[in-house]
Amino acid sequence: MDGKGIKFQAFDEIDKPSLDLIKDCVHCGFCLSACPTYLQTGNELESPRGRIYLMKSAVEGKIPMGDGLVKHLDLCLGCLACEPACPSGVRYGSLIEAARSQIERRFERPFLERLYRSLLFSIFPHPKRLKLLLPFLFLYQATGVRRLLNNLGVLPNRLAHAEGMLPDIRFSSLFSSLPSVTPARGKRRFRVAMLTGCVQSILFPQTNEATVRVLAENGCEVVIPRNQGCCGALSIHSGRLSEGRDFARANIDVFTKYDVDAVIVNSAGCGSSMKEYGELLKNDASYAGLGKKLSTKTKDIMEFLADVGLQGDLKELKCRVTYQDACHIAHGQRIKVHPRKVIKQIPGIEFVELPESDLCCGSAGIYNMIQPEMSEGLLERKISNLKETGVEYLVAGNPGCLLQIQKGIKQCGLNIKTAHLIELLDWAYRGTISR
């Protein structure tokens, strides 16, 4: 028991949210209308300002670690929409990651909840394990077991939600692999390395294949380090900072061996995390400098292509397309112009802006698997905005958003297809829409 009558101090000194950063918040409330959870609930404690107030109270030892604190911080998507909306430059992302690391270490969740989270973290950041699961997922879909279970409705709510996002696994995905080095087409302009991503490499191999083809078309020699692993994004965003730092160090060891002009990333959360390696490892004398170096070389694929300028012959694609701003591209990396610039260069495309395109779709890493109600609410809002566009295609720069939105499209029986934006560009180079 401490002097203030609180039995358990909410936070200890390890990765504690910085009071200096907290004090940057002047309580103006400009961030409220950007926050998806506040828009859904209207509850101040589900807003950035409310959550910062809770963190401040916890740092000052005024409230204990417990459900009252945890439920509001858990419900945050980590979408970072509050950061660009804030005139005081509050670094909310750093605060919520630090607060979540306190929760992970100091709050005992119910047994089943712990088990469920451990299961998610023992699979998703491990592409080799995901790959082992792939043949079973293929059979599960191909043999009709999936249809049977869905018709019977026997899966528990959370599992049913996660299952609903599973994309169709193609037979070819079981054998997909990319060459270690792909030469540039024509004169070499750049040498780049590519992060293949955990979920991306297993569930969306066609996206990585398209990325390599488009980079080669644009004069890049593409290197794919074989022993690369998870970038740590899922762990870092969930407050598992120690695990996330281990993933980051391993990734730094792999990528800094290559003398390349850029490290290309085609999923939002991974790019956003890798750009923060310098900050994440600032207290690690051996890795701080290397982390910073890798961060500066990391580029989202659309950021890279728009900056270096597209080359080659783009053929006409006649279709109506809209674009979803993935949170960790639009807010985390502040990239909104580049993807639109690329889309508008494809001949024949009719581009339609998606209303609220930068409002989170409810995917947010593993959020949709641990907070299904809020996630569903946001997905409904996204789909209702999507219906207004009358498009044939929705493109985005992140696999999580595509899985989530695809699920909503299927639930509503809409005739809209989804694809990664790099696939759309690849189709334009090849002159055909082919999946």
Instruction: Give burial (CB, 10 Å; 0-12/13-18/19+) of 288.
Output: middle
How many chain residues bind ligand SF4 (CB under 6 A)?
Answer: 27
Least distance CB 176 / ligand SF4 (angstroms): 34
Query: How far is residue 15's CA from residue 99's CA, in Å, rounded to a whole number?
Result: 8
Q: Which residue has the tokens 């297809």?
A: 417
Least distance CB 79 / ligand SF4 (angstroms): 4
Among residues 86 and 252, whose Cβ is nearest to ligand SF4? 86
> Residues 167-201, buried b or exposed e (16+ Cβ, 10 A)?
bebeeebeebebeeebebbeeeebbbbbbbbbbbb
Among residues 237 and 420, whose Cβ is nearest to ligand SF4? 237
Strands 393-396 and 417-420: parallel
The contact pattern for ligand SF4, residues 91-120, with x = CB under 6 A and - = no contact, is -x----------------------------
The contact pattern for ligand SF4, residues 17-56, with x = CB under 6 A and - = no contact, is --------xxxxxxx--xxxx----------xx-xx----
Query: How far is residue 131's CA from residue 127's CA, in Å, rounded to a whole number?
Result: 6
Least distance CB 34 / ligand SF4 (angstroms): 6
Exposure of 394 in the CB half-sphere (CA atoms within 13 A): 31
Among residues 196 and 375, whose Cβ is nearest to ligand SF4? 375
Residues 69, 90, 321, 424: which binds ligand SF4 (CB under 6 A)? 90
* Residue 374 in contact with ligand SF4, rule: CB under 6 A: no
Residues constituting the chain: 435
Among residues 342 and 364, whose Cβ is nearest to ligand SF4? 364
Least distance CB 96 / ligand SF4 (angstroms): 6
Query: How far is residue 246's CA from residue 265's CA, in Å, rounded to a whole number?
Result: 19
Least distance CB 24 / ligand SF4 (angstroms): 7
Instruction: Give burial (CB, 10 Å; 0-12/13-18/19+) of 423.
Output: buried
Query: How far is residue 406's CA from residue 212's CA, in Å, rounded to a whole number?
Result: 24
Least distance CB 377 / ligand SF4 (angstroms): 12
Among residues 39 and 262, whose Cβ is nearest to ligand SF4? 39
Least distance CB 32 / ligand SF4 (angstroms): 7
Among residues 2 and 373, whose Cβ is nearest to ligand SF4? 373
Residue partners of 309: CB distance under 8 A and separation at least 6: none
Among residues 53 and 138, whose Cβ is nearest to ligand SF4? 53
Query: How far is residue 274's CA from residue 248's CA, in Å, rounded to a whole number?
Result: 8
Least distance CB 262 / ligand SF4 (angstroms): 28
Among residues 232, 161, 234, 167, the alpha carbon closest in space to that of 204 is found at 167
User: Which tokens sit at 10?
Assistant: 């909410």
Among residues 26 and 119, whose Cβ is nearest to ligand SF4? 26
Radius of gyration for the chain, computed over Cα atoms and rounded to the nearest angstrom:
22
The contact pattern for ligand SF4, residues 59-88, with x = CB under 6 A and - = no contact, is -----------------xxxxxxx--xx-x
Residues forming the site for ligand SF4 (CB under 6 A): 25-31, 34-37, 48-49, 51-52, 76-82, 85-86, 88, 90, 92
